[in-house]
Amino acid sequence: MRAIPANDLSPFGQYRPQGALRGLLRFTQSAGAHWLGQRMALLVRRIGLRRLRARPVDVTVDTLKARMRLYPYNNACEKRLLFTPQFSDREERRFLAARISPDITFFDIGAGCGAGSLFVALRAGPRARVLAVEPQPLLFERLVYNLRQNPAATVKALDCAVADVDGPVTLFYHSRDLAETSMRIVSAENSGGSFLAPAKSLATLAREEGLRRIDVMKLDVEGAEDLALEPFLTNEPESLWPHALVLAYSPAKWEVDLLGLLESRGYVPVARTKVYVMYERGRRADG
Per-residue pLDDT reduced to its tens digit, 48-107: 999 898 899 999 999 999 999 999 999 999 999 999 999 888 999 999 999 999 999 999
Is the Cβ–Cβ distance between 277 and 249 less than 8 Å?
A: yes
Q: Report the alpha-carbon distance of residue 51 to residue 3 in Å, rounded.
A: 19
Is the Cβ–Cβ distance between 2 and 174 less than 8 Å?
A: no
Residues 6 or more apart from 162 whose CB is under 8 A from it?
A: 109, 110, 133, 199, 200, 201, 202, 205, 219, 221, 228
* Regions of the chain short of the pLDDT cut 70: 1-3, 185-192, 283-287
pLDDT at 287: 37
pLDDT at 181: 87
pLDDT at 168: 95
92 exposed, middle or buried (CB, 10 Å; 0-12, 13-18, 19+)?
Answer: buried
Q: How, if at all, do strands 57-61 and 66-70 pair?
A: antiparallel
Class of 90-281 in CATH:
alpha beta
Q: Report the alpha-carbon distance of residue 64 to residue 80 in Å, rounded.
A: 13
pLDDT at 32: 87
pLDDT at 286: 44
E-only strand ranges, the chain: 57-61, 66-70, 105-109, 129-133, 155-158, 161-162, 167-174, 191-200, 216-219, 244-248, 267-272, 276-281
Is the Cβ–Cβ distance between 224 and 182 less than 8 Å?
A: yes
Amino acid at 196: L
Give domain limits for the chain. Answer: 19-83, 90-281
Strand partners, 199: 161, 167
pLDDT at 3: 63
